[in-house]
Amino acid sequence: GQQVMQIPQYQHVQEGEDFTTYCNSSTTLSNIQWYKQRPGGHPVFLIQLVKSGEVKKQKRLTFQFGEAKKNSSLHITATQTTDVGTYFCAGPRGQNFVFGPGTRLSVLP
Amino acid sequence: NAGVTQTPKFQVLKTGQSMTLQCAQDMNHNSMYWYRQDPGMGLRLIYYSASEGTTDKGEVPNGYNVSRLNKREFSLRLESAAPSQTSVYFCASSETGFLGDTQYFGPGTRLTVL
């Protein structure tokens, strides 16, 4: 079945450094969603990408959807301690979404 | 609006015991979902309900049953708990259930089976 993979699994950065997580699918995706989960919290929707090559920005976060619609990335510029958490991508499978395993981000002050 | 609520927040069971996890949403959403989250494995769909009166299996349905009691409530039942069911359980809802819909998650239930 369709799988969604994410790398890296963990990332430790110093506050102020940039961070990128990558999401890869074994099949072409019609769209992709990104969620953030703070430690001890629940996933919260960040954004959805639909178009090939699409780039969307939310303040310091930049989301990209690959030209082939099989990969996506989330880039955070100048990380802050509030960025700590696990970032998940989710791609459609049948009537539902399949989530990647997530990238856990730690930010050292 | 409370959004998606779940009860209980924490639960410890012994192997073989049964329990029901409750979920309710006040956003008038049509679709509801149950996920489990295990370390390093992301969220895996257990069951979902595309609309009131319908339920379908997700990726990991074995050992679970669900009931869509009404439009607001979607419960998950463990008939005979096993240690492999130790996990964090999240309920979610979405407006239409169509792909591209935002899913809103509840706070989760942390279940330990001894």
Q: Report DSSP letters for B49-112, one per residue.
A: ESSTT--EE-S--TTEEEEE-SSSBEEEEESS--GGG-EEEEEEEESS--TTPPPEE---EEEE
The mean pLDDT of chain B is 94
Count of Cβ atoms closer than 10 Å to residue B52 Cβ: 15
Written as one letter, the residue type at B69 is L
Min Cα separation A29/chain B (Å) = 11
Candidate from A43, A44, A101 with C-beta closest to B40: A101
Q: CA nearest A49: which of A36, A30, A25, A28? A: A30
Distance CA A104, CA A106 (A): 7
A66 touches chain B (CB under 8 A): no
Do B65 and B57 touch, CB atoms closer than 8 A? Answer: no
pLDDT above 70: residue A2: no
Contacts for B2 with CB less than 8 Å, ≥ 6 apart: B26
Site from A42, A86, A103 to mutate, B interface, most B CB atoms within 10 angstroms: A42
Say what the pLDDT of residue B99 is.
67
Span B89-113, pLDDT tens digits: 999 999 876 667 889 999 999 999 9
Of the pLDDT bands very low, low, confident and very high (cuts 50, 70, 90), residue A79 is very high
Of the pLDDT bands very low, low, confident and very high (cuts 50, 70, 90), residue A93 is confident
The answer to whether B43 contacts A88, with C-beta atoms less than 8 Å apart, is yes
Span A32-67, pLDDT tens digits: 999 999 999 999 999 999 999 999 999 999 999 999
**Chain B residues within 8 Å of chain A (Cβ atoms):** 33, 35, 40-45, 48, 50, 56, 58-59, 90, 97, 99-100, 102-108
Name the token pair of A51: 């178009």
Contacts for A42 with CB less than 8 Å, ≥ 6 apart: B90, B105, B106, B107, B108
Report how many Cβ contacts below 8 Å link chain A to chain B. 50
Please state, for a pLDDT cut of 70, what percent of chain A lies above it: 98
The answer to whether B105 contacts A42, with C-beta atoms less than 8 Å apart, is yes
Of the pLDDT bands very low, low, confident and very high (cuts 50, 70, 90), residue A96 is confident
Say what the pLDDT of residue B40 is.
72
pLDDT above 70: residue A68: yes
Q: Work out whether strand B87-94 and strand B31-37 pair parallel, antiparallel, or are unpaired.
A: antiparallel
Residue-wise pLDDT tens for chain B (114 aa)? 789 999 999 999 999 999 999 999 999 999 999 999 998 778 999 999 998 989 999 999 999 999 998 999 999 999 999 999 999 999 999 987 666 788 999 999 999 999
